[in-house]
A and B are shown apart, each in its own frame.
Chain A
Amino acid sequence: MIGILTTLITVPLIGAIIVFLIGTKNKKLSRLLAQFITFAELSISWSLFAFYDRINKRLNIEDEFVRWIDSFSIHFSLSIDGISFVLVLLSTTIVFLVALQSTFVIEENEHLYYTLLLLFETGILGVFLASNLIIFYIFWELVLVPMFFLIGEWGGERKRYAAVKFFIFTHVGSLFMLLSFLYLFINMKTFSIIELSQKDIPEIVQTIAAIGIFLGVAVKLPAVPIHSWLPDAHVEAPSPVSVLLAGLLLKMAGYGFLKLGLNIVPEGIKVLRPVLITLGVVGAFYAAFAAIAQKDLKRVIAFTSINHMSFIMIAVAVATPLAIIGAVFQMISHGIIIGLMFFLSGIIQHHVGTREINLLGGIKKKPVLTGFLIVGSIAAFGAPPMSGFIAEMMIFFASIPVYPWVMTVAAFSIVITSVIYLWLLTRVLFTNKAEEVVFEDLVSHQNYLKYELSIVGLLFIPIFVLGFFPNLLVSIIEQAVNQLLKIIG
């Protein structure tokens, strides 16, 4: 049966083909079409709220299923729950804003860029919706391909290096994941995520599978020390693509931890707990300290991104409902906030011509941009009343009783994150320079700044709304989290 979920995935796929074909004739039209398609996706995904059952707090959308290869139980099957729903909303929203923002950034081969962007959207939505391991894997890998080209073609100086590095790292990780899928299949005779989550999988099988899954997702998250692709990829990618990377691609890993790890092989994850908590805490501190020494604006943001995502590993290790809700909250909030920060760093680069922190300064002459940078930074280090504060609070409330000493120490990594951002602001905004930064539109020589800023400014809405009304998000995901952790009631 094919329904709205399949539509959600196929619209950008078909759109990609059309955009590509039109683009060979008329590039501007293809761009507008692509933007329209991302908008359509946005509307479809938000209209899913129509299926939201307020009483049972779940989405009344049936699973969609097309038989494919019976003997290997590989079927095209999609399903949606609260967690995937909010991630789908995040994806369509971010992709839409990225498509708009790209107008001001991408000038060469626009039609190809948008084709790849739409392919990426298909891939990422597929990951969040798939309920068969092989389908999951196909979409998981599909995301890599457009991303590889997006970095490698439109990126900065070392774009080829970054693209290849990104591809190889994540691809090798995925290989382990695929192996553990096959291993699960050999033992349990099914690829269906739903069936697997209901079966009683022997602990040893769970452990081995969990290791493979862990390797696959930990690279994407990324966990220290297999993170070194991330700073390169984020820095070399054009700024809208950095937004995709940090805002969405990393969330695939978080989602993988929940949907594959805790859902299918909870016992295996339990065995891995010491690894997860160690990598989580070490990663939080490592990335925070490493960020301090960076000289490139984007690199700083990229490293704090690693710091934020480390908390998700900690939450997975704790694996109580509060921790998992906190993890999802962190994924959404981080996706928005770090997306915002990458947008802003992109704007700075496009108008000033450099992201070198020591060369910036004097940006405070642009009051709106300055305000955005300040509020965005405050949001990024998790101060109230923004969404990041709630997310971190949830994770700390969940984890301190379980790992009191470790997590009390880990709480201080938040102070380091605030150091990073405040020092960044001091240097970028408030440093006195002999020569003032020249602020102009280097890309188009037209004043696009206010349009760019008004697009980016939209992201502040969810940051504050979720900060003030966390229940909005919690009530959507609560049911799914309980289901994930197999808590009845």
Chain B
Amino acid sequence: MEAIIITVLLTVLVPLVGSLISPLLNKILKEKIHFYAIAIAVITAALGITSFSIGLRMEEIEPWTFNWIKDLLNPGEFIQGGIFLDKFSLLMLMLVSVIAMLIVIFSHDYMHGDDALPRYYFWILFFIGSMLGLIVSDNLIQLFIFWEGVGLASYGLIGFWNRENENVKSGTKAFLVTRAGDMGLLAAIILIYFNVGTLSFSEFTSDFGNILGESKLIVLVGVLILVGIAGKSAQFPLQFWLPEAMAGPSTVSALIHAATMVKAGIYLGGRFLPYFLTAAPLYAEQLEVLFLIIAAVGVFTAFLAASIGMAAREFKKILAFSTISQLGYMLLAIGVAGLLHNGEDALFASIFHMTSHMFFKALLFLGAGAILHSVTTTKDIFEMGGLRKYMPKTTLLFSAGALSLAGIPPFAGFFSKETIFSKIIEYIEETSSVWGWIFLSLAVIAAIMTLFYTMRMIGVVFFGESGEHVKEAEKHGHLHDPSWFMMGPLLVLAIGSTIWGFFGGLIEHWFYHGDQTYGEWIGHIFRNGWGWLILAIIVIVGGIPGYLIYFRKVNNTFFANSFLQKFLYNRWYWNSLMLTVFVDGTTKVGDLLQYPEKALDHGTNSLASGVLATANAFEVLDRKIVDGAVNKIAYGFQWMGMKLRRFETGFISQYLWIGAFGFVILLIGVTLAIIL
């Protein structure tokens, strides 16, 4: 086994085994279980970094496989489980393990004093391990198992504070919506298996696309995978679970939004893309349909969620909508990459945005966690205000994350978002398709709205006058920058959010051996000034109004209390619609089925009473006519009956004896009859 396989294997196993052991250590470690979890997370991150740095120097990494399950369709062969590494998965492995480590360190103070720590760390480590396992899985079933593991962990963690019934419901909602998406993925996996003949990424050849194209399955399989992605990565129409997922601790939200869970879907999309593109020479039409669907779903989700973000009031919900919106960008980038002629390289835009999103979204959620840790009585941003004075460092770090989210230079989000815009422009230049213009304009509008709600969030939370809740928190002495266990991770993430963008060129170079210089790379992103133009539009249309309204407090009557505001605040009514259709619908069906159930029971019972009535009728008949004739004999039987009555004690032991006796008599009789 190669060294890198061993380190990768350990990266996955350490958190998983650590998770399973943690409940057992409860009694021994008590409060110190924090340090146990931190130790596991640090080891995992170290292993992740080691794997990455080994892989950095390797050109090709041989996949490692083992005989896993008997292949029952090809007797004698095995379905191979294994590890499949490429640059994409190694990069993800490292970033996920490092960011997860920071979140676990943050938990030390954030979760201090919680009475269910073993359960918390059990699920957290399980979550991390499942995600890492998903990233390196070679086999699709293996991947699916980790995929479900991620879903289970999210159920456990979102509903972690289970004293509140609502939290448990949110966890249930998250699990069920994503699981509905999983069924799509499962169907796709099965279709792939029966057409392509293998489940391993390492065994997919350049035939992958051609086989699917020939049987006209590309669109179907692609859309089924998209259903899976939409479930996990919260894309339209399954996006509505993510806002409620912030019911859990903020660390959990950070983990879900930044490192695990929602990234899983986009990651899977990126993983599949090259194989689908092998159909490009022959089946370009089918591919175009598929990737237009994917890009459209992505850009619509980005637009939808960004618009809702402008009206949301709960702190973490705003962040949740921003996640959905940013994931939409990533999906859009996958779709656009599939439409471009050098699609595999164009995928980089999605990967790049995913990685920079990891940094700034972890930062934002942990920052929000730090704030909500201090201001415990409200979650509504309009009831906070003025926190800049009390938590200056947090304000600074949080703002770095927020500006990165909004795509302001020099933060990471700026570079990665501009890369996505540049790919859309490239698509327009390549095909001059009207779709390109639609994607570009929606994406830019979404970016404008993103900057607007970012300004709103920062302005309302950190600037202006302090609300009552903040003053109360100050009275209790809660209101100050957090301790270093919390500050450290924030600082690291803020640095990451600031400088990660400049690494883009290096990573793209490492990925694709491009021969462009760094300057050329930057130029490429800006597409001959397009990038600057877009940035200018975003700042002028989104940033300046946001600044005026929420920092300068310019009175705005245009937006407040309008129908549009209600529409956005209620999330386009999509959530309510889904709840009505599925929750109420399911219960209705269940209730309706009680009618056939009752009818069946009723039928059975009336049948039985019918039989009894007939028997009674016969009995009457019997007494009236037959009885008279056999009265005399009856007396004889009555006498026997007297004798037999003592058996009728209602005690089954005697029935049993009599039954056995009767059975033996019957047996003898039958045997005699047959022999004779």
Contacts and interface: CB of A to CB of B under 8 A. Distances in A.
B601 interface: yes
B93 to A, nearest CB: 21
A290 B589 CA distance: 8
Interface stretch (A79-87, A270-278, A418-426, A436-444): A418-426
A53 B179 CA distance: 41
A400 B653 contact: no
Interface string A411-423: 1101110110011
B652 A149 contact: yes
Contacts of B674: 69, 71-72
Given A383-B152, A422-B155, A293 B180 contact: no
B72 A168 contact: no
Contact of B176 (A419, A474, A489): A419
A398 to B, nearest CB: 8
B190 interface: yes
B268 interface: no
A378 B179 CA distance: 13
Nearest to A475: B70
A292 B652 contact: no
A10 B73 CA distance: 40
Contacts of A474: 69-70, 72
A20 interface: yes
A150 to B, nearest CB: 10
Contacts of B179: 414-415, 418
Contacts of A364: 162
A414 B589 contact: no
Interface stretch (A208-216, A238-246, A389-397): A389-397
B191 to A, nearest CB: 8
Contacts of A165: 604
Looking at chain A's contact residues, the main secondary structure is helix
B596 interface: yes
Interface string A97-136: 0000000000000001001000000000000000000000
A293 B652 CA distance: 37
A471 interface: yes
A451 interface: no
A470 interface: yes
Nearest to B78: A471
Nearest to B181: A415
B141 A290 contact: no
Given A71-B674, A415-B180, A422-B155, A321 B148 contact: no
A290 B176 contact: no
A290 B591 CA distance: 7
Nearest to A285: B589
Interface stretch (B165-173, B205-213, B347-355, B475-483): B165-173
Contacts of A49: none
A19 to B, nearest CB: 12
B651 to A, nearest CB: 9
B186 interface: yes
Interface string B66-92: 000110110100000000000000000
B621 interface: no
Interface in B600-636: 600-601, 604, 608
Interface in B51-73: 69-70, 72-73
A292 B168 contact: no
A153 B152 CA distance: 42
B165 A432 contact: yes
A385 interface: yes
Nearest to B144: A384
Contacts of A7: none
B183 A293 contact: no
Interface residues of B, number: 50
A411 B179 CA distance: 11
Given A69-B674, A393-B141, A394-B72, A422 B172 contact: yes
B576 interface: no
Looking at chain B's contact residues, the main secondary structure is helix
A397 B190 contact: yes
Interface in B97-149: 141, 144-145, 148-149
Contacts of A37: none
B391 interface: no
A412 B183 CA distance: 7
Interface in B564-615: 586-587, 589-591, 593-594, 596-597, 600-601, 604, 608
Contacts of B437: none
B141 to A, nearest CB: 7
Contacts of A286: 593
A228 B597 contact: yes
A425 B159 CA distance: 12
A430 interface: yes
Nearest to B607: A168
A414 B653 CA distance: 45
Nearest to B167: A430
B671 interface: yes
B187 A426 contact: no
A353 B183 CA distance: 38
A290 B594 contact: yes
Contacts of B169: 426
Contacts of A401: 190, 194
A69 B159 CA distance: 65
A234 B55 CA distance: 58
A321 B75 CA distance: 10
B163 interface: yes
Given A384-B145, A385-B145, A430-B168, A289 B589 contact: yes
B193 interface: yes
Given A286-B593, A432-B165, A415 B183 contact: yes
Contacts of A423: 172
Contacts of B652: 112, 149, 153
Contacts of B164: 432
B571 to A, nearest CB: 22
B342 to A, nearest CB: 35
A408 interface: yes
A60 B143 CA distance: 39
B165 A431 contact: yes
Contact of B653 (A112, A228, A322, A396): A112
A430 B121 CA distance: 20
A431 B149 CA distance: 25
Nearest to A404: B191
Interface string B209-245: 0000000000000000000000000000000000000
Contact of A471 (B70, B162, B608, B656): B70
B175 interface: yes
Contacts of B671: 69
A373 interface: no
A332 interface: no
A411 B176 contact: no
A429 interface: yes
B176 A400 contact: no
B168 A412 contact: no
User: Which 9 residue pairs spanning A and B have beta carbons closest together?
Assistant: A292-B590, A293-B590, A384-B145, A430-B168, A322-B72, A228-B600, A290-B593, A422-B172, A430-B162
13 contacts: A112-B656, A153-B652, A228-B601, A286-B593, A289-B586, A290-B593, A292-B587, A293-B587, A293-B591, A293-B594, A401-B190, A416-B586, A430-B168
Interface of A: 20, 69, 71-72, 112, 115, 145, 149, 153, 165, 168-169, 225, 228, 286, 289-293, 321-322, 325, 364, 378, 383-385, 389, 393-394, 396-397, 400-401, 408, 411-412, 414-416, 418-419, 422-423, 425-426, 429-432, 470-471, 474-475, 478, 489
Given A401-B194, A422-B176, 11 more contacts: A165-B604, A290-B594, A293-B587, A293-B590, A325-B72, A384-B148, A401-B190, A415-B183, A426-B168, A430-B168, A474-B72
Interface of B: 69-70, 72-73, 75, 141, 144-145, 148-149, 152, 155, 159, 162-165, 168-169, 172, 175-176, 179-180, 183, 186-187, 190-191, 193-194, 586-587, 589-591, 593-594, 596-597, 600-601, 604, 608, 652-653, 656, 659, 671, 674
